[in-house]
């Protein structure tokens, strides 16, 4: 029972970290706020966001494999696969902003150039798409945990 509680805690902590850092990206990625310090901060925030996403995946896998219900119970439920599909979609959407943040930092360090407002708005849209998909994952999890979808 303690193992189940600790796995749930670790997974929840990873999820909360992920949510905090995607919200931070959304808040920082605004044309009116972008300056050299914000570009550097976005790269750091995005790195922590990526680490949190990895922690969500690892702790979720640990819950499936080591948790009380076991992989057999989860594996046949379409809601688990929906959660994973949504997680993959968020991961794929995160590639462009990560590449742009790194590109902005390279340009900043090379020439002091900042991205234009239109580019920042486009990247923010990609970040916001992720931020709007993420809440659907714990919704599916709440139903999954209660036996729906089996």
pLDDT at 73 (0 to 100): 83
Residue ranges making up the domain that contains 125: 2-145
Give a yes or no: residue 33 inside a domain.
yes
pTM over 0.85: yes
Mean pLDDT across the chain, nearest whole number? 95
Q: pLDDT tier at 122 (50, 70, 90 boundaries)?
A: very high
Give a yes or no: residue 150 inside a domain.
no
Return the ∠ at Cα 51 (arms to 45 and 57), rounded to 5°. 135
Q: What is the pLDDT of residues 46-71, one digit of tens each?
A: 999 999 999 999 999 999 999 878 88
Q: CA-CA distance, 82 to 5, in Å (whole number)? A: 24
Q: CA-CA distance, 133 to 23, in Å (whole number)? A: 13
pLDDT reading at 88 higher than 90: yes
pLDDT reading at 106 higher than 90: yes
Q: CA-CA distance, 124 to 10, in Å (whole number)? A: 29
Q: pLDDT tier at 91 (50, 70, 90 boundaries)?
A: very high
Domains held by the chain: number = 1
Per the listing, tokens 């742009």 go with: 100
């Amino acid at each position: 029972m303690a193992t189940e509680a600790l796995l749930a805690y670790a997974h929840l902590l990873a999820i909360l970290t992920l949510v905090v850092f995607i919200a931070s990206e959304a808040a920082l990625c605004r044309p009116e706020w972008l300056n050299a310090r914000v570009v550097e901060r976005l790269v750091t925030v995005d790195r922590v966001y990526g680490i949190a996403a990895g922690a969500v995946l690892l702790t979720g896998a640990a819950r499936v494999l080591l948790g009380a219900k076991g992989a057999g119970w989860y594996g046949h439920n379409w809601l688990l696969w929906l959660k994973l599909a949504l997680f993959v979609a968020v991961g794929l959407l995160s590639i462009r902003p990560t590449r742009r943040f790194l590109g902005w930092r390279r340009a900043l360090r090379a020439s002091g150039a900042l991205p234009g407002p239109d580019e920042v708005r486009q990247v923010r849209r990609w970040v916001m798409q992720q931020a709007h998909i993420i809440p659907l994952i714990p919704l599916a999890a709440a139903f999954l945990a209660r036996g729906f979808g089996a």
